[in-house]
A and B are shown apart, each in its own frame.
Chain A
């Protein structure tokens, strides 16, 4: 019983990581850059939804949609102002810029919303949870919604990148920017679209993260962001199902590590697993090995 309970807790935590990791992996896969500001876009999304629900008394669904619109716009603006001028620069320069954007967002949020933590009302507040074994075990509604949202997003993204024209353009850009451009693909608008989608997903991730763990601060996004980045690497960065698998695994390992080995060592265990996986399979669990063509 305890085992099952821990498993469910792990999946619940892991799905939150997974949903953030999807955004990371998507941007990395197409733009080949680590967008460290992703965690902070999540935080902005959560704040927008919080404001819509608490200050404007809008229904949760409107709050989520509003957060998605704002984050999508924010993602595109960040890309346009901070990353696009560096398209030809070294990846290190882009990485440092991303860290800069991350700090910029955190401190702007600090100015706007101040440092005191806010308590986020769950968007599924009042929904019934799933009771199992005659009420001995409860799966919270937010867990169910997170897992479902994860699956829907993963399937949606996979279909999008494999079936639609825009999606195919994205894959082409990811494989070879120069060749894609020669084939008549607008590389800039494709990368913009990637950021738009990634940031829209970040808004959903923010809302679900704060529904599950309801304190909201300007630094709320940073640690889950780093864990999700780990999850994306574990699953194979660039791979959409990999992000999902990596996220859930990371959550389960974290909870099991806490429950059966040591609460003090849980993070060390998580990262030890990551190191072992990367030693055996450097591209991550579902990552593709890309051979450099000379």
Chain B
């Protein structure tokens, strides 16, 4: 009897462990399926043209976790471009997108998975921290990498001590310093404010990078910065102190080199305080209008520098926005647009330099580097006449946008 009880207990334990394990594997399985579902779509389309001749593109970005909005956008944007290109016939791409949860360690794992899969070029990573880690790996492995949105100079290397230039890495987005400099110049040129306050996230490389460059450029240009306050992701709820400081200092322009989510809180809390300076954001501010439930009147008059506007009237942008809305039910943000442009830039480069699917990743890498650092120019939806310098930075003009009646209008 006692033995029976023991046996029963063991059996029950086993049943529980198994059911839990089943739970675990089935959920992760479905998550992966969801993440790679789009990739599978293109894989099916590819062999129709000429079997086995698709160039394998890896993609990395967070599709789960706190930064999932960026990774999902880049994944969707890249997928649309791949589908469009494959539908044209000729050069075929196969996209395999991996989730990194905005974690450098997981990102390197994702990169290794992609390498095992036979990746020939990498579109990624989406976020800066993971991209710094992965670009060091891809540099050692000689795999060409074009990141849609990782904007730190440490991604391309060669500009800060201890990080050498990674010659295989190029950016589609502006670098952080460029945004800081461009913002300061824009404010000066357009005479937008005399007393400037800044709130930035000092726990974030993106925000701090822009801030550092902005503040030194502001000094050169003679802009008066009257208040500088910070927050971190852990204290991104209450901005009463920061806003109070800016208000007391009499700032008439508030520079926000931060992402749109804390920015939406700042706008709401400033309104509660009856404080109405001009707000000036950078590309991280993009997305604030599509925030579900956001009172867009709060963002009225907010200015930002961004490479992409979904309301632009050119045909390419309109097609992209239409396809994106049909497929994913959302208005694409600039992350999606950058990823879309990444794939097209690779496509154009491949057409120019004759890279084929049967070449090794290292050979492709050398050819692509030669093309990108050569006189290659690219016209996409985030800029026209886009070129790349030897340092891997992109050169395109930021567009000044202002929010009026809930839509972006060019300044």
Q: Tell whether, in the assembled complex, residue B264 and residue A223 are in contact, meaning their CB atoms are under 8 Å apart.
A: no
Q: Tell whether, in the assembled complex, residue B293 and residue A267 are in contact, meaning their CB atoms are under 8 Å apart.
A: no
The verdict on A219 contacting chain B, using a C-beta distance below 8 Å, is yes
For B235, the chain A residues whose CB sits under 8 A away are: 254, 258, 266-267
A140–B272 Cα distance when bound, in Å, is 8
For B230, the chain A residues whose CB sits under 8 A away are: 263-264
A265–B72 Cα distance when bound, in Å, is 33
Q: Tell whether, in the assembled complex, residue A116 and residue B202 are in contact, meaning their CB atoms are under 8 Å apart.
A: no
For A213, the chain B residues whose CB sits under 8 A away are: 237-238, 265
Q: Tell whether, in the assembled complex, residue B240 and residue A119 are in contact, meaning their CB atoms are under 8 Å apart.
A: no
A259 touching B241 in the complex, CB below 8 Å, given contacts A116-B69, A266-B235 = yes
The verdict on B244 contacting chain A, using a C-beta distance below 8 Å, is yes
Q: Tell whether, in the assembled complex, residue A115 and residue B66 are in contact, meaning their CB atoms are under 8 Å apart.
A: yes
A119 touching B292 in the complex, CB below 8 Å, given contacts A9-B238, A217-B66 = yes
Q: Tell whether, in the assembled complex, residue A214 and residue B238 are in contact, meaning their CB atoms are under 8 Å apart.
A: no
Residue of B nearest to A218 (CB): B66
Q: How many residues of A contact B (CB 8 A)?
A: 38
A106–B291 Cα distance when bound, in Å, is 20
For A140, the chain B residues whose CB sits under 8 A away are: 272
The verdict on B64 contacting chain A, using a C-beta distance below 8 Å, is yes
Size class of the B contact interface (CB-based, 8 Å) = 35 or more
A5–B234 Cα distance when bound, in Å, is 22
Q: Tell whether, in the assembled complex, residue B293 and residue A120 are in contact, meaning their CB atoms are under 8 Å apart.
A: yes
The verdict on A172 contacting chain B, using a C-beta distance below 8 Å, is no
Within 8 A of A (CB), among B281-318: 290-295
Q: Tell whether, in the assembled complex, residue B244 and residue A259 are in contact, meaning their CB atoms are under 8 Å apart.
A: yes
Nearest Cβ in chain B — how far from A93, in angstroms? 14
A115–B76 Cα distance when bound, in Å, is 14
Residue of A nearest to B30 (CB): A111
For A215, the chain B residues whose CB sits under 8 A away are: 261, 264-265, 291
Residue-wise, chain B 65-88 has the 8 Å CB interface mask toward A (1 for contact) of: 111110010000000000000000
Residue-wise, chain A 102-125 has the 8 Å CB interface mask toward B (1 for contact) of: 000001001100111111110000
Q: Tell whether, in the assembled complex, residue A116 and residue B292 are in contact, meaning their CB atoms are under 8 Å apart.
A: yes
A54–B242 Cα distance when bound, in Å, is 31
For A50, the chain B residues whose CB sits under 8 A away are: 293
The verdict on B45 contacting chain A, using a C-beta distance below 8 Å, is no
A121–B238 Cα distance when bound, in Å, is 17
Nearest Cβ in chain A — how far from B346, in angstroms? 27
Q: Tell whether, in the assembled complex, residue B291 and residue A119 are in contact, meaning their CB atoms are under 8 Å apart.
A: yes
A2–B291 Cα distance when bound, in Å, is 33
Give B residues with C-beta under 8 Å from A: 16, 27, 31, 64-69, 72, 202, 229-235, 237-238, 240-242, 244-245, 248, 261, 264-265, 268, 272, 290-295
Give A residues with C-beta under 8 Å from B: 2, 5-6, 9, 13, 50, 54, 85, 107, 110-111, 114-121, 138, 140, 212-215, 217-219, 223-224, 254-255, 258-259, 263-264, 266-267
Contacts A5-B244, A213-B265 known; list 12 others, CB within 8 Å. A2-B244, A9-B240, A9-B241, A13-B237, A107-B27, A114-B68, A115-B64, A116-B291, A219-B65, A255-B240, A266-B235, A267-B234
Can you list 23 contacts pairing A with B, beta carbon distance less than 8 Å? Answer: A2-B244, A6-B241, A9-B238, A13-B238, A107-B64, A111-B31, A115-B65, A116-B291, A117-B69, A117-B261, A117-B291, A119-B294, A138-B272, A213-B237, A213-B238, A213-B265, A215-B261, A215-B265, A217-B261, A255-B238, A255-B241, A258-B241, A266-B235
User: 9 nearest interchain CB pairs?
Assistant: A115-B68, A119-B293, A258-B241, A213-B237, A9-B240, A119-B294, A118-B292, A263-B229, A263-B230
